[in-house]
Amino acid sequence: MNIFKSKEQSVVGDFHRIHNLSWALAIMFFIGCIVVLSGVLLIGGIQLFQFLWVSLVQAFGLALAVTASLFFLLRLVWRLKAVPMGISMLFFIVGISLFVSVSVGRMYALQYPVYVQSFGPGFGPGLPLKNVVSFFRHLDQFPHIEDIARDPNDVPSPITILEPLEPMFDLTEMASGTLEMVDADTAPDTGGQVRELYLETTEVLSEIAPGITFNYWTFNNTVPGPMFRIREGDIVKVTIKNNENNLHHHNVDFHAATGPGGGGAVSVVLPGESKEFTFKALNPGLFVYHCAVPNMAVHMAHGMYGLILVEPKEGLPAVDKEFYVMQGELFTTGAIGRQGLQAFDAKKMMNGVPSYITFNGRPNGAVGKMKAEVGDTIRMYVGNGGVVHNSSFHVVGEIFDTVYPEASMGGAMFKNVQTTNVPAGGATIVEFKVDYPGTYVLVDHALMRTDRGAWGTIEVTGPADPTIFDGDFTNSDHEGHAH
């Protein structure tokens, strides 16, 4: 009887112990949920909770699954009274952790993401953890921009207009390149002017797509930044201001500048600081400008790029329409289409896998905004602010009459081109006449990228000429896969 009683007491004791441990697991789970939720509300309030609710639901589901697994394993080990099994499971978890830790690389505890190592100049692409926490704490201070996309019609007026003639450039006098740093009191060339350009760097919140928010870094609150238009021989005085609500240093680099950093070395500004510097536009061309504070790729991948056109002294041939389009790349922690606030993912950038590839800052950023009439001549200023891919720029249903390859002026121009290369950090100029009405789609002809957002449209209206194109448009609904 004593033996049976002892066994019964042992079973009851085991039951109470496993019961208590099970309750401890459940309590730890609920306490963890309360701590995380309280931390989110304490750091950023309801606004941060609304931005992160998708990630919080995902984290809740993962924590619930882990708790249930531990509960199952605990009961299994306890029921079998297999202490060696429990020890082996512990070693298994430690071994997997060591394998993953070594596989993903060196861990940086005070940055996000923690497993990113760089051998480039300056700092790596990971964001300092203190900046991430500060961003969440001051979320309500960041401006909300309704539409981050720069209007492709926002092109400054021509400075000198010529009638369309065959170019007659002296190749020995017109080399590629433009801006050179000069003294502030240097006079412009004969016929030139002193032009003042103003840039304000801002860190803002805006939607990539409905319900998907990103922390863009911009010049003047749009992506790309403003297009500037100056003239060969002009003196250019640039003022750059870093908005006081920003968390990061910024600057501006004009690609063809002959000084250190393309001007970036003299324009680094802290939050709330302004600086001025002066250039002389020596040669014509279309050039990218961008933020060049290390890590340069991180700043560009947040949206900090634009174009500056230096017209030749003779001007450019007159056209009816001019448009401004820049391709870019966004790297978000969530997969494409993931709702909520999306943080920048440095690991994806290092691996060269953008979540979104855009024309003018976001998907649909250049859709439905460009208009023309049949017979119009169009000039497009196209740049590439991406940090991974070159662009194979193409207008579906059109042929470029003239291409300024890599946006150079004074060299050979290409004629009758279907698709042209726009290098990362480079530009091109294309000209064509629209002869037939309809919707013309702009793409990067590495067409997978259209699904990530790299496309736009030009709407052309006017009379149709059946001698140029003719067909039955009534069955245009036969699109996509059959269902």
| pLDDT tens track for 285-303 | 999 999 999 899 999 999 9
Average of pLDDT values for 327-355? Answer: 93
CA distance 195 to 184: 12
d(CA 29, CA 168): 76
Are 238 and 93 members of one domain? no
Say which amino acid occupies 459. Answer: E
What mean pLDDT comes out for the span 343-358?
94
Residue 146 domain-assigned?
no
Mark whether 172 and 95 lie in a shared domain: no
Q: Are residues 302 and 431 in the same domain?
A: yes
Task: Show the domain range for 37.
Answer: 2-104
Percent of the chain with pLDDT over 90: 51
Is the pLDDT score of 326 beyond 90?
A: yes
Which of 14-18, 75-79, 115-119 shows the lowest mean pLDDT across its residues?
Answer: 14-18
Residues linked to residue 170 through DSSP beta bridges, in sequence order: none
Q: Are 297 and 259 in contact (CB under 8 A)?
A: no
Tokens of 365: 């950023």
The residue type of 353 is: V
| 405 falls within a domain | yes
Please state the three-class secondary structure of the chain as a single string.
CHHHHHHHHHHHHHHHHHHHHHHHHHHHHHHHHHHHHHHHHHHHHHHHHHHHHHHHHHHHHHHHHHHHHHHHHHHHHHHHCCHHHHHHHHHHHHHHHHHHHHHHCCCCCCEECCCCCCCCCCCCCCEEHHHHHHHHHCHHHCCECCCCECCCCCCCCCCCEECCCCCCCCCCCCCCCCCEECCCCCCCCCCCCEEEEEEEEEEEEEEEECCEEEEEEEECCEECCCCEEEECCCEEEEEEEECCCCCCCECCEECCCCCHHHHHHHCCECCCCEEEEEEECCCCEEEEEECCCCCHHHHHHCCCEEEEEEECCCCEECCCEEEEEEEEEECECCCCCCCEEECECHHHHHHCCCCEEEECCECCCEEEEEEEECCCEEEEEEEECCCCCCEEEEECCCCEEEEEHHHCCCCCCEEEECEEEECCCCEEEEEEECCCCEEEEEEECCHHHHHHCCEEEEEEECCCCCCCCCCCCCCCCCCCCCC
Residues 399, 434 contacting (CB under 8 angstroms): no
Look at 105 and 436; give whichever has higher pLDDT.
436
Identify any residues that bridge with 458 across adjacent strands, giving them in sequence order: 370, 440
CB contact at 8 A, 377 and 319: yes
CA–CA gap between residue 92 and residue 99 (Å, rounded): 11
Residue 356 lies in a domain: yes
246 part of a folded domain:
yes
* 245 shares its domain with 366: yes
Please state, in angstroms and rounded to a whole number, the distance separating the CA atoms of residues 457 and 438: 10
Does residue 114 sit within a domain?
no
Rounded to an integer, the average pLDDT of 133-149 is 86
Nearest Cα to 63, choosing from 90, 33, 85? 33
Number of domains in the chain: 2
Question: How does residue 73 score in pLDDT terms, banded at 50, 70 and 90?
Answer: low
Two tokens at 341? 């606030």
Task: Note the maximum CA span of the chain.
Answer: 116
Based on the fold, state whether residues 237 and 99 are members of the same structural domain.
no
User: Confidence band (pLDDT; 50, 70, 90) for 138?
Assistant: confident
pLDDT for the residue 109: 53
Using an 8 Å Cβ cutoff, are 392 and 384 in contact? no
pLDDT band at 82 (very low <50, low <70, confident <90, very high): low
Which residue among 104, 138, 172 closes a domain? 104
Q: Quick one: 292 and 384 in the same domain?
A: yes
CA 362 distance to own-chain centroid: 8
**How high is the pLDDT of residue 137?**
77
Whether residue 147 is contained in a domain is answered as: no
Number of Cβ within 10 Å of residue 5's Cβ equals 9
Q: Are residues 99 and 165 in the same domain?
A: no
**Peptide bond before residue 295 is cis, with ω within 30 degrees of 0:** yes
Q: What does the pLDDT look like over 260-282, one tens digit per residue?
A: 777 888 999 999 999 998 888 88
Global model pTM greater than 0.85: no
Based on the fold, state whether residues 99 and 190 are members of the same structural domain: no
- Residue 321 tokens, joined: 């329409």
Closest CA to 127 of 113, 137, 115, 108: 113
Task: Flag whether 430 is in a domain.
Answer: yes
Selected residue with higher pLDDT from 148 and 38 = 148
Q: Please choose, from the candidates 27, 22, 26, 28, the residue with its C-alpha nearest in 3D space to the C-alpha of residue 75.
A: 22
CA 402 to chain CA centroid, nearest Å: 29
Q: Do residues 83 and 166 share a domain?
A: no
Residue 208 is assigned to a structural domain of this protein: yes
Residues 98 and 226 in one domain: no
pLDDT above 90 for 126: no
Domain shared by 203 and 335, yes or no: yes
- The CB density around residue 137, as the number of other CB atoms within 10 Å, is 14
Task: Render pLDDT for 376-428 as a digit per residue (tens, 0 to 9).
Answer: 999 999 999 999 999 999 999 999 999 999 999 988 999 999 999 999 999 99
Buried/exposed 78-98: b ≥16 CB within 10 Å, e otherwise = beeeeeeebeeeeeeeeeeee
Q: Which of 116-120, 232-236, 436-440 has the lowest mean pLDDT?
A: 116-120
Residue 7 is predicted with a pLDDT of: 47
Rounded to 5°, the CA angle 403-406-409 comes to: 70
pLDDT band at 100 (very low <50, low <70, confident <90, very high): low
Tokens coding 26:
């459940």
Q: What is the pLDDT of residues 157-211, one digit of tens each?
A: 987 654 444 433 332 232 223 334 455 566 666 666 888 999 999 999 999 999 9
* 391 strand-pairing partners: 422
Contact yes or no for 84/102 (Cβ under 8 A): no
What is the average per-residue pLDDT within 54-74? Answer: 71
Question: In this structure, what CATH number is given to the domain that contains residue 176?
Answer: 2.60.40.420
Say if residue 267 is in the same domain as residue 358.
yes
And the tokens for 398? Answer: 């059109």
Measured between alpha carbons, how far is 191 from 228 in angstroms, rounded to an integer? 19
pLDDT at 179: 38
